[in-house]
Amino acid sequence: MIRFEHVTKTYAKTDKPALSDVSIDVAKGEFVFLVGQSGSGKSTFLRLVLREEKASSGTIHVAGKDLGTLSNWKVPELRKQVGTVFQDFRLLPNKTVFENVAFALHVLGHTKKEIAREVPEIVELVGLAEKLNRRPGELSGGEQQRVAIARAYVSRPAILIADEPTGNLDPGTSIGIMKLLDRINREGTTVVMATHDSSIVDQMRKRVIELESGHVIRDQVRGVYGYTG
């Protein structure tokens, strides 16, 4: 699903690479935690997957596409297959839960009828069926993140990318979000999640990739947050 081969990324006007010589293979249906200190390159990794940035060297394949040779006008094709969730939710404050989720489908050209069927279904899945007509300002942080996940998942992407989705949430709420992501993963979606949350990583026992100053220093099946040997 995601394959990095000797990928190095150096941002313009910097000399130290944010990622250096990273080779990672994530298979279809896997759940991967990306851990590491602040500035270790987790977000950079995810931005490369989305092709918000291009690798300085090495090759990246996502959902069968070579991102190095992917032309700009085909980038939307890629992003349709990669759902994204962020720490700051990125919801539209003037739109209701329904409209926020529907927005993604509208943009992708779904008909009103399809939208009327698909949106309530996914909102139900994330557990917000009763709050369909609330605006983000009238929801808790955890609920807002559920809306964001619903929006990312409503078009059933093959991959879901989450950059510290629980970063703004308390531990109890975070567990609920993780259950949701786990459920989505069980439905066959590949999930890659960058996080600082050690207790979550330790509980879930999924594959853990640890970055340090842009290098992969650990890649462990059923890993934990802090590796002690």
Query: Which residues contact Mg ion by CB under 5 A?
Result: 43
Pairing state between β 190-194 and 31-36: parallel
Residues 74-103 binding other proteins (CB under 8 A) are 75-81, 84, 90, 92-93, 103
Residues 6+ apart with CB under 8 A from 216: 22, 23, 24, 209, 210
Residues 112-131 binding other proteins (CB under 8 A) are 112
Q: Which segment (106-114, 126-134, 174-182, 204-212) binds other proteins by CB under 8 A?
A: 106-114
Helix or strand holding residue 21 (H, E)? strand 19-26
β-partners of residue 91 are: none
Q: How many helices (H) and strands (E) does the chain have?
A: 7, 10
Closer residue to other proteins in complex, CB, 4/86 = 86
Binding-residue pattern over the window 35 to 64 for ligand ATP, x denoting contact by CB under 6 A: -x-xxxxxxx--------------------
The listed partner (other proteins, ligand ATP, Mg ion, none) that binds 69, CB under 5 to 8 Å by sort, is none
Cα torsion for 201, 34, 36, 67, to the nearest 10°? Answer: 180
The listed partner (Mg ion, other proteins, ligand ATP, none) that binds 79, CB under 5 to 8 Å by sort, is other proteins
Residue whose structure tokens are 């709420």: 173
Which residues in this chain contact ligand ATP in the complex, by CB under 6 A? 11, 14, 18, 36, 38-44
